Structure 1
């Protein structure tokens, strides 16, 4: 795999100018053109499966199963669905209006916003790069993709594949680090999508504000798991939560970040966690090809730091190999408020268990912290479910499993508050990059109907318009 080549400022400017010209020329407007590009995305993924799997393995040591099932497959499926449903999404709408306005043909037009900037992360570098690109194509928007330099092999591969499969006058990959993205953000985009952390999101939002550019942010955060032991199968819950922490070595924006459980049930849950660890063969994780590595030395050292500073007790795992950036999935019990494991989003295979007095205290704990990207809860108690629906805020709410809401294409993927804003996936991404344009055609034959508006104003005209507008009650005037 070639070394990642950063783009120059001149190359960035040239790409920007080209994409703006393409949009103004209307190249991306026809639905037939968009469908061809969506089919090209499918072709790009299917013809380069092995190269993509290898790049993901090199950057993240991502297992083949996770590469196919969690990155390539979902993007093929969503590109196909986007092409199949595009006619329906793009269809003009005729809203219901009062009878006297129907002759005006009121219409809601679906129109592309313009040139999109996508800044994607390293943890799911295919999925989180192509999901917004698929939406941009469907919406008729040219786009620049700025993938993460932290996953250099995938970023280099995308830069190589895009011009071979997608129209280079409409879709470009720009690679680089801080200087390059700083230059990119000085340009005026019509929409920016960023997936990553809150610190960078604030930088991007400030840059976007200079041009009043709308932004879609997906920022992760600490996604809690609430365990209601009264109505939950603790063995299944433990296995599902632990699996959620092993997926991509916990480097997932919707990974379960910590567990809140009544302290009276902590011992039973820990025993269930230990049984699940044996079943998932976590003791061999450091040498297994079923577990990913930490992406970089920096991230590895950060995780080892919060582990060594924690006051919690390790009940599963704890081992690591620095040279391979591998950490055994590790579970801590009796983790207290202000522990190092609760400082920020973990983004690694580490799971703290935080005992609370009861479910009510768990809800209070969640509400005392920034709104998570997703709230997981294991319960079959209708009252507990309703309390979580009504009394907490999160981008998603997921009962009795983890991660699976991401596989439901018809649901919006979004955050709230510090976990982000805007929605993604299929039509939701299409809608992000589309603006609604109002249109009416008032016929000349309507002149008698609108003549009341002209000066000089009379009492009769004022009375009739007041009735028509709804300001006062009375029989509607026709002239």
Structure 2
């Protein structure tokens, strides 16, 4: 992958900004065409994308087609189909507008406000920057882009240098399918990304870790640039004894092994009452033998660790851990690690310092369910909280007493299959939302509008000087509005 020359980066931004100002991206039909072209790019080159992800991540072809390309093509078509509805101006019910509400006692304010045509327009934010990660490169690069195109923005996509084959492919294909006056790829490592962040953008959409997010936030603050931060964090899985522990172990192990644990919504650790830890461990071993009869390192159904540097980081966590390895723990070369499960992991363990982002599943035993909730509450709000329980009261307590970007009961990762659900974090796990219309909303803003005719001038008379007692009585009426009793 050859990085984009730093000297070209301001020129690329300026070209896109000029296109936006000229209104290139404004027509809805033009946006739909670009969306369809993006879908064609994926369909025409599906095998090339599968090969690229295979080289970068060792990702199985089934996962690339099913969880990456297929998911994004579906989301593109849905967005194009619903774009007219999402983008149309919305007339406000003037009876709900509180404007000069003191006149309510003298006239029906809803009647005189109707000619003002209160309207909410969906306006594009402008020229935006999308900084994508390496672990799910198709989804996490193109899903934000779908929203940017739909909203009418111009966009620069900066894919990760850690997935070089994907990044080079998408840079090659973009100008063949998308209008280069509106959409460009910048291939960048740290120096080029630093230059990108020096420039002013109208929105920055970043997916990655909290450390880099702080750098991006500081750069964005210099220009008062709005942000969407899709971060990760430690997403726990609470296992309550009321659930089917065998099924919980099956689903948790599958989710942890997906992309070799390199997934922001992977279960980062399991919290379970001490009395049921062994039952969970036993079930996990059985499912591991069924999923990977040849062993996870030899399986063609699992990705590999993305780089030697990430491999070294993960093995250091294992070396320093105080937990007991009950399954896995072996490594081969510098990109393969067995799916590894550890029990009796203490709260101050190396695996509890930060997001693992790898194939290790620590099990943290606690005395009871109350301690499980408290353990989660004592840590940063996760991107997603998983909980396995059949008890309605337990579900309510988890909902009421914890915070997370998403909450899922009795399964994992399933939330990503719903176009209608917003996806995003809270607190340290990020802010802003995406998914279908939510991504469109992220790259647009609500522009309020009025069109005031001359005929309403009689109703404006009260606002003009000179003021007198009669005008004061009318204008101050709102101060003395009756307040309903709250008892």
Q: Smaller-chain TM-score range?
A: over 0.9
- Distance change (3 Å), C-alpha of 1:342 and 1:456: same
Match of 2:180 in 1: 168
Q: Does 1:425 align with 2:424?
A: no
Please identify, of 34-43 and 283-292, the stretch whose mean Cα deviation from structure 2 is larger.
283-292
Q: Contact 1:198–1:418 at 8 Å: present in 2 too?
A: yes
Is 2:239 the partner of 1:227? yes
1:412 is matched with which residue?
A: 422
Match of 1:360 in 2: 370
The one of 297, 300, 306 equivalent to 2:308 is 297
How far has the Cα of 1:472 moved from its partner? 3.0
Matches within 5 A, 1:73-472: 73-98=70-95, 99=110, 100-229=112-241, 231-281=242-292, 283-323=294-334, 325-467=335-477, 470-472=478-480
Secondary structure of the residue aligned to 2:153 is coil
Determine if the alignment matches structure 1 residue 14 to structure 2 residue 11.
yes
Q: What is the distance in 2 between the residues matched to 1:347 and 1:150?
A: 15
Residue 283 of structure 1: how far off its partner (Å): 4.8
Match of 1:70 among 46, 55, 67: 67
Hey, what does 2:107 align to over in structure 1? none
- Asked whether the 8 Å contact 1:282–1:317 carries over to 2, the reply is no
CA distance in structure 1 between the partners assigned to 2:389 and 2:425 by the alignment: 23
Structure 1: gaps (5+ residues):
475-479
1 CA distance for matches of 2:322 and 2:463?
Answer: 75
Cα deviation code 1:213-256 (max 9, x no counterpart) = 00000110000000001x21111110100001110000000000
- Structure 2 residue matching 1:286: 3-state secondary structure: coil
**What are the superposed Cα offsets for residues 191-220 of structure 1, whole Å, 9 maximum, x if unpaired?**
000000111000000000000000000110
User: Aligned residues, how many?
Assistant: 467
Contact 1:277–1:283 under 8 Å retained in 2: no
The unaligned stretches of length 5 or more in structure 2 are: 96-109, 483-487
Distance in 2 separating the partners of 1:299 and 1:282: 26
| CA deviations over 1:246-304 (Å, ceiling 9, x no partner) | 10000000000000000000111111111111111265221221110000000000011
Is the CA contact 1:118–1:145 (under 8 Å) kept in the aligned structure 2? yes
- Separation of aligned partners in 2, 1:263 and 1:71: 38
* Contact map agreement 2:128 2:203 (CA 8 A) in 1: yes
Distance 1:176 1:396, change over 3 A: same
User: TM-score, normalising length from structure 2?
Assistant: 0.95
Distance 1:417 1:82 in 2: 28
What does residue 106 of structure 2 align with? Answer: none
1:13 positional shift: 1.2
1:87-130 deviation per Cα after TM superposition (whole angstroms, max 9, x unaligned) = 11011111222313112110001100001100000001111000
Contact 1:260 1:353 in 2 (8 A): yes
Matched-pair contact (CA < 8 Å) for 2:330–2:338: yes
What is the TM-score normalised by the length of structure 1? Answer: 0.96
> Partners of 1:89 and 1:441 in 2: how far apart?
22
Distance in 2 separating the partners of 1:198 and 1:91? 36
| Partner secondary structure for residue 348 of structure 1 | coil
1:113-149 deviations in Å (ceiling 9; x for gaps): 0011000000011110000000000000000000100
Note the aligned Cα RMSD (angstroms).
1.0
8 Å contact from structure 1 (residues 261, 356) kept in 2: yes
In the alignment, the residues of structure 2 paired with residue 411 and residue 358 of structure 1 have an alpha-carbon distance, to the nearest angstrom, of 32
2:30 counterpart residue number:
33
- Equivalent residues of 1:251, 1:347 under 8 A apart: yes
Q: Distance in 1 between matches of 2:341 and 2:383?
A: 22
> Residues of 2 paired with 1:261 and 1:148: CA distance?
36
Q: Distance in 2 between matches of 1:282 and 1:180?
A: 45
**What secondary structure sits across from 1:153 in the alignment?**
helix
> What is the distance in 1 between the residues matched to 2:200 and 2:163?
26
Q: How far off is 1:441 after superposition?
A: 1.4
**1-side partners of 2:293 and 2:136: how far apart?**
23
Alpha-carbon distance between aligned partners in 2 of 1:42 and 1:443, rounded to the nearest angstrom: 45
Provide the rounded CA distance (Å) in 1 between the counterparts of 2:244 and 2:464.
73
Secondary structure of residue in 1 paired with 2:404 = coil
Greater than 6 Å deviation, 4+ residue runs? none
Give the C-alpha shift of residue 158 in structure 1. 0.6
